[in-house]
DNA sequence: CTTAGACATTCGAATATGCAAATATTTGAA
DNA sequence: TTCAAATATTTGCATATTCGAATGTCTAAG
């Protein structure tokens, strides 16, 4: 049995992707770094909430922060995160298409 | 605001990756389809538990099932799932290395 | 038609996550 | 020094996930 610890760690990192707001943030940051206030403007919602999610993502290591005196700039820690995320999006789209096809079949 | 519904759906699919056992299953299935009993033998644990996780993965659309009279064969619905998963693993590994480096620095 | 093997489903309890509101911290400008 | 903007942290509560045990279903084989 190969050490199961790695699976747990791996899952921890993947949990960073498991929330709509966090996905939205990743999507946003594909375009480059962005500061807290700008992210909030895009996503909407409460500051405290966004702050919590961003800190989760930083802890998981999928985001980096750069702080200057006026604000905190967030960015993806690696383009691999964006890539993984968009692969999963493709999987989703493929599944939606399959479902749609199935519905059409049923209505024939 | 681009429809937020897609983020929710996207996150749902990503949730399939957010558990150690499920990651282990994905790892296993990179080698090709495998039946319930064989998966269980590798992962260990309770049947009911594995069954629950597999059904979550099927519902999310990241696994396919093929049933014959003797057993259920599970496989990845797309190689993209494996790819996304291993990208996230790379992100993890990179982060672990960074941490390790930081520790070394501190001990100098 | 009864049984055994292979899974699936259900249930209640434990744990983890997410949310909103309140409070705290930090930094530059007045 | 004081204030305001920009974020972080804490707290209590609501919801969601996970787990293990028990029970149910389905399909050959006998």
- Proportion of chain B above pLDDT 90, given as a percent: 88
> What three-state secondary structure class fits B34?
strand
User: Whole-angstrom Cα distance, residue B92 to residue A13?
Assistant: 7
- Residue B64 corresponds to which tokens in the numbers above? 């396919």
Instruction: Collect all residues from B whose CB is shorter than 8 A from any CB in A.
Output: 1, 4, 7-11, 13-15, 17-24, 27, 44, 61-62, 77-78, 80-81, 83-85, 87-92, 94-96, 98
Q: Is the pLDDT of residue B19 over 90?
A: yes
Q: Is the pLDDT of residue B57 over 90?
A: yes
- Residue A25 corresponds to which tokens in the numbers above? 């943030």
Q: Three-state secondary structure along B16-29?
A: CCCCHHHHHHHHHH
pLDDT at A2: 59
Q: Is the pLDDT of residue A1 over 80?
A: no
Q: What is the pLDDT of residues A53-75, one digit of tens each?
A: 999 999 999 999 999 988 999 99
Please give the residue that has the higher pLDDT: either A108 or A96. A96
Is B65's CB less than 7 Å from nucleic acid strand C?
yes
Domains and CATH numbers, chain A: 5-107 (1.10.10.10)
Average pLDDT, chain B: 95
Helix extents (H) in chain B? 5-15, 20-29, 36-43, 47-60, 79-107
CA torsion sign for A56, A57, A59, A60 is positive
Given B1, B23, B61, which is nearest A14 (Cβ)?
A: B23
A103 band by pLDDT with thresholds 50, 70 and 90: confident
Given B9, B23, B85, which is nearest A92 (Cβ)?
A: B9
Q: Do B23 and A7 touch (CB under 8 A)?
A: yes
CA torsion sign for B93, B95, B96, B98 is positive
User: Whole-angstrom Cα distance, residue A81 to residue A13?
Assistant: 10
Q: Is the pLDDT of residue B44 over 70?
A: yes
Please give the full DSSP string across chain A, using - where no structure is assigned.
---THHHHHHHHHHHTTSSHHHHHHHHHHTTS-EEHHHHHHHH-S-HHHHHHHHHHHHHHTSEEEEE-SS-EEEEES-HHHHHHHHHHHHHHHHHHHHHHHHHHHHH-
> What three-state secondary structure class fits B50?
helix
B103 band by pLDDT with thresholds 50, 70 and 90: confident
Residues 12-51 of A near strand C (Cβ < 7 Å)?
Answer: 15, 18-19, 21, 45-46, 48-49
Who's near B40: CB < 8 A, 6+ residues apart?
B47, B50
Average pLDDT, chain A: 95
User: Whole-angstrom Cα distance, residue A89 to residue A3?
Assistant: 30
Contact residues, chain A, for B89 at CB < 8 Å: 10
Specify which residue's alpha carbon is closest to the C1' of nucleotide D22: B48
CA dihedral B98→B101→B103→B105, nearest 10 degrees, is -130
Q: Are B17 and B88 spatial neighbours (Cβ–Cβ below 8 Å)? A: yes
Interatomic separation, CA of residue A45 and C1' of nucleotide C24, rounded (Å): 21
Bases of strand D lying below 7 A from some protein CB: 6-10, 17-23, 27-28
């Amino acid at each position: 049995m190969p050490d199961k610890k790695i699976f747990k760690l791996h899952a921890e990192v993947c949990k960073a992707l498991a929330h709509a707001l966090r996905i939205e943030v990743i999507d946003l940051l594909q375009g480059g770094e962005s500061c807290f206030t700008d992210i909030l403007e895009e996503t909407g919602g409460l500051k405290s909430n966004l702050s919590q999610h961003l800190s989760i993502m930083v802890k998981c290591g999928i985001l980096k922060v750069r702080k200057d005196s006026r604000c905190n700039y967030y960015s993806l820690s690696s383009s691999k995160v964006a890539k993984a995320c968009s692969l999963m999006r493709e999987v989703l789209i493929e599944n939606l298409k399959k479902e749609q096809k199935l519905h059409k079949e049923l209505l024939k």
